[in-house]
Structure 1
Amino acid sequence: MAKNKTIVTENSVMDFINSYVADDQKKIDSFELIHLMEKWTGFPAKMWGPSIIGFGSYSYKYASGHEGTAPILAFSPRKAAFSLYVYSPSDENTLLLDELGKYKLAKACIYVKKLSDIQLSTLELVCKATIAYITQHNECACRT
């Protein structure tokens, strides 16, 4: 079975942002996302792999037998846009996306160019709905 590449590391989140993120506004937005996601999850920011900033963790297992650990919420300040790993397939989240603002959606990721393009209050609701979904469907540190 393939081993997960995206695992929690001891690398510094601050060092990553300060060395990887060149755009000043993206740095400001990154620090704001850290503040918000720490508040919403109750977990400190940690590096997952070389470029994802995650908060908390949960264990999952697919019907195929593949299993692993993933952050409850996460983001990556990629060059083109932020990749927000905050979306779960719940009815509540589907409805909330109409109010989020300017974004693109992939299977499990919301892409946002800058935080001013979205409603942060709606992002909070999406994140909290995702935390609830993960808590209900997976083994999760967010249960404590």
Structure 2
Amino acid sequence: MTTTWTDGDPAAYLDAVTPAVRRRDAHTLRDLMERVTGQTPRMFGTSIVGFGEYHYEYPTGHSGDAPAASFAPRRAASTIYLPDGVGAHADRLARLGPHTTGVGCLYLKDLEQVDLAVLEDILRRSWATVTSGTFGQRARESS
């Protein structure tokens, strides 16, 4: 099943996030992504807060639309989705502070332990790449 934009209320969703540190970080991430993207947050599915949109198409022909910037406040860590892949940000990630990664995900347990200026730079660069009008791949295929 494909995840889509919903009519969920991002503010109400973020206000209900637990534990408290994740809720605090979720509000910080919302503010940061609003500033970086200039977009209003929307719910993508039931647990992803997204900003803007980009179109992707896989080599198989499957295509769709997804948030150009997004995050999910999960219990274990805040997940920041980087559609252009974490590899595109390796030099900045080295300066970020404590984190772990997946192919297109950045996991942060406590924003007070990371350099928010570096995180903002990562988000700005990812946003610029994904919204350039020429990006249409998935993180696994990105550099």
Same fold (TM over 0.5): yes
Question: Displacement, 1:138?
Answer: 2.9
Matches within 5 A, 1:16-31: 16-19=13-16, 21-31=17-27
Change (3 A) 1:67 1:125: same
Aligned to 2:9: 12
| Residue 36 of structure 1: how far off its partner (Å) | 0.7
Any idea what SS the aligned residue of 1:8 has? Answer: coil
CA distance in 2, matches of 1:59, 1:7: 13
The match for 1:70 among 66, 70, 79 is 66
With over 3 angstroms needed to count, the CA separation of the structure-2 counterparts of 1:92 and 1:110, relative to structure 1, is closer
TM-score (norm 1): 0.86
Give, in angstroms, the shift of residue 66 of structure 1: 1.0
Letter aligned with residue 33 of structure 1: L
Find the counterpart in structure 2 of residue 53 from structure 1.
Answer: 49
Do the aligned residues in 2 keep the contact of 1:87 with 1:93 (CA within 8 Å)? Answer: no
2:68 aligned partner, one-letter code: I
How many Å separate the matches in 2 of 1:16 and 1:88? 26
C-alpha separation in 1, matches of 2:87 and 2:24? 32
Counterpart of 1:35, as a letter, is D
Q: Distance in 2 between matches of 1:123 and 1:49?
A: 24
Cα distance in 1 for partners of 2:127, 2:26 equals: 20
Q: What TM-score do the two structures reach when normalised by structure 2?
A: 0.86
Matched residue count: 135
The one-letter code matched in structure 1 to 2:130 is I
Q: Which amino acid aligns with 1:14?
A: A
Q: CA RMSD in A?
A: 1.7
Stretches of structure 1 that go unaligned for 5 or more consecutive residues are 140-144
Q: Which runs of 5+ in 2 are unaligned?
A: 137-143
